[in-house]
Structure 1
């Protein structure tokens, strides 16, 4: 079982662990949910969403400014 991850320079297929969530992925990448928006198969998703076999996960960095 695998999923595809896209984030900045990362564009790779990764092995999928059982009950692996967006939150687990962010923790693994040492990223904060406060600065990242996750899309699962093109749709905005929440941290508790489970990643399924074949999913495409796109992480987008939020840019703050003023």
Structure 2
């Protein structure tokens, strides 16, 4: 079981752990939900969402300006 991850210039297939969530992925990558938005199979998703086998996960960096 695996999923596809895209973030910045990263585009890779990763092994999938049981009950692995978007929040688990962010923590594993050292990222915060306050600075990154997650898309699961093209749809915006929440951190509690469980990643399923074959899912496409895209992380988009939020840019703040002032």
Give the root-mean-square deviation of aligned CA atoms. Answer: 0.3
TM-score between both structures, scaled by the size of structure 2: 0.99
> What is the number of residues matched between the two proteins?
66
* Consecutive aligned runs of 4 or more in structure 1 exceeding 6 Å deviation: none
Map 1:22-41; keep pairs closer than 5 Å.
22-41=22-41
TM-score between both structures, scaled by the size of structure 1: 0.99
Stretches of structure 1 that go unaligned for 5 or more consecutive residues are none
Stretches of structure 2 that go unaligned for 5 or more consecutive residues are none
2:61 corresponding residue in structure 1: 61
